[in-house]
Amino acid sequence: MRGTAGSGGADSVNRFTDQLFGDLRRIDQRRWAHAYVLGLLTTPGKKSMRRLAAAASDSPTASQALHQFINESPWDWTPVCDRLRHWIEGRVRPRAWTIAPVVLPKRGEKSCGVHRRFVPHTGRTVNCQVGTALFMSTDIGDFPCSWSLLLPEPWARGDLRERARVPDGAVARPESPVLSLVELLVRPSRHEPVPVVVGVDGYLDVRPLLHALIRARRDFVVAVPDGLPLAPFPAARPVRVCPRAAARMLDGPSGRERGARGLVRNQLVQLPFTRDEQRPQPFRLFAGPGTRAGGLGRLWLTNIVDRPVGELMRYADRTAAVGETVNLLERGFGLRDFEGRSFPGWHHHMTLVSAAFAYSRLTTAADGYGALDMPGDWPREDDFDRSLDLLPA
């Protein structure tokens, strides 16, 4: 194998990938993990399998071997993601965990999970895969730590599912990928728990997600649709009938505060209950300024009711910062360049992209990692600065 890294660069990537992939059973798996990460870091332009293989080896069979490692080799990406998360936590402190959708346009219909859907932030219907990603949001940016692929109903059973090698545990329900990412947050961490920020409205029903976060006893800030049924808080008894749509809860003149970006509306609310023995729990519904009727922006619901609304808005702004990170992943790390069609292959690629991104941002000479010769079109630090300083210190 060879690499295009500068002095010490390939060796430094090798030390990094040994920490993440050192438990893979076979030597060739560990070798190709190193090759893939090195290729993502040093290959300019499109990160095709052929070009990534050329960054690692002169062998004419390298591309085939790398394709085999990504698409066919049965290694489990979940422990690798856990080790990546712990590696990042050892270098930066999380301020929030942000879960956001990532839309990957695709040609054809054979890639796992591909379907046509309306994409809210573009206002267009596209042929795509939709992934959800768990980002560690820090003072120096957002780092993807784990991924889950949305499986629409056609992929729930039959030939499509079998051909894509979708494991039995992957459930074809829209909320399942996000719930699986929430479950990761109960695992041990180096740091105190921080809020979970979720911006998947328009892609799935947020109610199962809200109940999962409540059961997990996590602080959260979740984007919710206008029509989510809510009730005022406090109420004399649990509300079982006549809830109001979330957007209507902010119609009144009360609960308006002037924030850094304009008028912020907020209201204490509760979720409608179905059993008398459940005690009402307060939540805060809030929205910043927007372009919709009445100047209302995106709606957010949180169980953090003892902090200023301005601070809550900074958590909500994490989804915009994550969008900047996704742009960097697409432009510089081959996020959209996966060439396979299998469910495991997709997760393998996303895991390796996340590893390369974390390495590029968090390794220093003090860590014992050498410098890499990055290609000229690789995103530079000033591209990253726009997503910083959105959270309080």
Write out pLDDT tens, residues 308-343: 998 999 999 999 999 999 999 999 999 999 988 899
Residues 6+ away with beta carbon under 8 Å from 297: 287, 288, 289, 290, 291
Q: Closest Cα to residue 391, out of 301, 315, 300, 303?
A: 315
Lowest mean pLDDT among 48-52, 269-273, 323-327, 348-352: 269-273
Q: 364 falls in which pLDDT band (50, 70, 90)?
A: low
Rounding to the nearest 10 degrees, give the CA dihedral for residues 153, 158, 162, 166.
Answer: 30
User: What is the pLDDT, as a whole number, of residue 281?
Assistant: 86
Average pLDDT, the chain: 83
Q: 386 falls in which pLDDT band (50, 70, 90)?
A: very low
Q: Closest Cα to residue 232, out of 247, 217, 243, 240?
A: 243
Q: What is the pTM for the complete model shown?
A: 0.86
Q: 112 falls in which pLDDT band (50, 70, 90)?
A: very high
Mean pLDDT: which of 293-297, 336-340, 353-357 is highest? 353-357
pLDDT for residue 30 is more than 90:
yes
Query: What mean pLDDT do residues 30-56 have?
Result: 92
pLDDT for residue 101 is more than 70:
yes
Residues in the chain: 393
82: which 2 tokens? 């856990």
Q: Per DSSP, what are the bridge partners of residue 299?
A: 224, 287
pLDDT in tens, 216-272: 889 999 999 999 999 888 755 555 557 889 998 888 766 677 666 677 899 999 988
From the number of C-beta atoms within 10 Å of its C-beta (0-12, 13-18, 19+), residue 118 rates as exposed
Q: How many CA atoms lie within 13 A of 174 on its CB side?
A: 13
CA pair distance 368, 44, nearest whole angstrom: 25
Q: 371 falls in which pLDDT band (50, 70, 90)?
A: very low
Query: What mean pLDDT do residues 167-171 have?
Result: 77
Whose tokens are 């081959």? That residue is: 334
User: What is the pLDDT, as a whole number, of residue 376?
Assistant: 40
User: What is the pLDDT, as a whole number, of residue 237?
Assistant: 56
Q: 36 falls in which pLDDT band (50, 70, 90)?
A: very high
pLDDT in tens, 115-162: 999 988 788 999 999 999 999 999 999 999 999 999 888 887 788 888
CA pair distance 111, 346, nearest whole angstrom: 9
Q: H or E element: which one contains 197?
A: strand 196-198
Q: 9 falls in which pLDDT band (50, 70, 90)?
A: low
Q: 42 falls in which pLDDT band (50, 70, 90)?
A: very high
Scanning the chain, the segments in alpha helix (DSSP H) are 9-21, 27-42, 49-54, 62-71, 77-89, 158-163, 176-184, 207-215, 246-249, 309-316, 318-332, 343-362, 381-384
CA pair distance 319, 26, nearest whole angstrom: 38
Please give the share of the chain, as a percent, with pLDDT higher than 90: 53
- Encoded amino acid at 186, one letter: V
Rounding to the nearest 10 degrees, give the CA dihedral for residues 215, 219, 222, 227.
Answer: 60
pLDDT for residue 388 is more than 80:
no
Query: What mean pLDDT do residues 280-305 have?
Result: 87
Residues 6+ away with beta carbon under 8 Å from 290: 296, 297, 298
Give, to the nearest 10 degrees, the angle between helix 62-71 and helix 27-42: 100
pLDDT for residue 383 is more than 60:
no
Three-state secondary-structure class, residue 97: strand
- Contact 134/144 with Cβ under 8 angstroms? yes
